Structures are given as structure tokens and as C-alpha cells.
């Protein structure tokens, strides 16, 4: 019996560890795909037809500086949240539409950012997220 209990605890803990990286903003947790390399950042969420409601993509940059994103080849509308090095929300681009033309508009941050979070469009409004709110990142 004790052996079975140990196995159950091990499997449960292993399942928790496999959940992957996540963030919390506005009292809600989101599983995130990380974009850390130049290649991952350039591809972003391009060509995706949908994203689950509790998911997002977190871009992690080595330095804090003005950032600008665009929606070329991105097929789902997004909210783009820009965070400084202290994980404070410094800028947002709400309801950015997919771009279907060759010269897509860019969505620059209003302040230097080190982290950028992309969520499905409407999430910022739904959660009541505002400038100055803090992001919590869990990488394990």
C-alpha cells in the first residue's frame, strides 16, 4: 500500500513539472510558449489558426529597450503586452488584427520593454489589466 502511495505521489508531482512555463497577470494563469532566440522571436505566432484561451507566447529579450511588433502572417488577433525589466506593464497594443497585406503596421511599445506577452485579443479588457500591473513568470 505504501509503495502505491509513493508511486501516486511521484506521478502527480511529475505531471505538475510537465506543465511547462506559465505566467500570471490579472489574477489568471496562462501556459506560455517561450520565444527566446532570434528565430523563435521572428516566427512568433505566425501561421497559427488559433490559440487556446489560457495560452500565450512570452518573448524574453536580453535587454530592456523600445520594442515593436507586427502581425505579418499572424492569423489570430492578439493583445500585445510590454513589460519592463521589473515585470511591470509599461505598454499595451489591444486587439491587434491579423495582417493580410504586404506592408503591415507595427505596434511599438510606449516605453522600454524586456518581456512581451501575446494573448488572444480581448484578454486585457476581460481581466481588467492596466498599466503598472505586474507579471509573474514561472519557468519550471
Instruction: List the alpha helices (DSSP H) in 18-140.
Output: 38-43, 123-127
Instruction: Indicate the pLDDT class of residue 4, thresholds 50, 70 and 90.
Output: very low
**Lowest-confidence region among 5-19, 27-41, 49-63:** 5-19
**Helix H or strand E segment including 12:** helix 2-17
Instruction: Indicate the pLDDT class of residue 32, thresholds 50, 70 and 90.
Output: very high
pTM of the complete model = 0.83
A 10 A CB-CB count for 118 gives: 27
How far is residue 106's CA from residue 52's CA, in Å, rounded to a whole number? 24
Residue with cell 486585457: 124
Instruction: Indicate the pLDDT class of residue 8, thresholds 50, 70 and 90.
Output: very low
Supply the mean pLDDT for the chain. 87
Q: Which CATH code is given to the segment(s) 33-138?
A: 2.60.120.1140
Amino acid at each position: 500500500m505504501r509503495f502505491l502511495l509513493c508511486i501516486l505521489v511521484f506521478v502527480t508531482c511529475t505531471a505538475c513539472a510537465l506543465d511547462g512555463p506559465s505566467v500570471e497577470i490579472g489574477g489568471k494563469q496562462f501556459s506560455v510558449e517561450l520565444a527566446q532566440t532570434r528565430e523563435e522571436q521572428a516566427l512568433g505566432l505566425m501561421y497559427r489558426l488559433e490559440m487556446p484561451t489560457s495560452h500565450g507566447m512570452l518573448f524574453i529579450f536580453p535587454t530592456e529597450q523600445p520594442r515593436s511588433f507586427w502581425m505579418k502572417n499572424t492569423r489570430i488577433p492578439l493583445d500585445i503586452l510590454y513589460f519592463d525589466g521589473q515585470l511591470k506593464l509599461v505598454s499595451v497594443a489591444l486587439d491587434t488584427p491579423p495582417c493580410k497585406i504586404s506592408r503591415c503596421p507595427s505596434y511599438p511599445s510606449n516605453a522600454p520593454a524586456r518581456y512581451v506577452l501575446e494573448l488572444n485579443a480581448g484578454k486585457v479588457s476581460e481581466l481588467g489589466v492596466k498599466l503598472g500591473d505586474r507579471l509573474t513568470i514561472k519557468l519550471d
